[in-house]
Amino acid sequence: EVQLVESGGGLVQPGGSLRLSCAASGFAFSSYWMHWVRQVPGKGLVWVSRINSDGSSTTSADSVKGRYTTSRDNAKNTLYLQMNSLRAEDTAVYYCTRDMRATLGYDAFDMWGRGTMVTVSS
């Protein structure tokens, strides 16, 4: 089955760290750029970061730059988001998404996981 499954969310104190994982299956993971998108419950979607297909290049939103690190292990078909120095405003559902430029050349997100909830609170 073609799917993305996030894990690693939970409750963490302000200033703490958390690592999210996104396990991919059913497609050639190593061919695709991947992104993280977050959503505060009841609010809109916010792009967080992206990584290219071989992991050699990453880009992040200014709000997380210097605190979040995006990486991947193509041998394990897994995407990661290392989150440090967490703040209350980082509380959100975090989705991993697949970028369709590998197939059709467009930077739309054609596959989404179900998301994992991260709560930053004391």
Partner 1 sequence: QSVLTQPPSVSGAPGQRVTISCTGSSSNIGIGYYVHWYQQLPGTAPKLLIYADNNRPSGVPDRFSGSRSGTSASLAITGLQAEDEADYYCQSYDTSLSGSVFGGGTKLTVL
Q: How far is the CB of 13 from partner 1 (least distance, A)?
A: 27
Please tell me whether residue 84 adopts helix, strand or coil conformation: coil
Q: In whole angstroms, how far apart are CA 54 and each of 78, 82, 116? A: 12, 18, 24
Stretch that binds partner 1, among 24-32, 37-45, 66-74, 82-90 (CB under 8 A): 37-45
CB of 50 or CB of 72, closer to partner 1: 50
CB of 27 or CB of 47, closer to partner 1: 47
Contact 98, 86 (CB under 8 A): no
Binding site for partner 1 (CB under 8 A): 35, 37, 43-47, 49-50, 59-62, 95, 100, 104, 106-110, 112-115
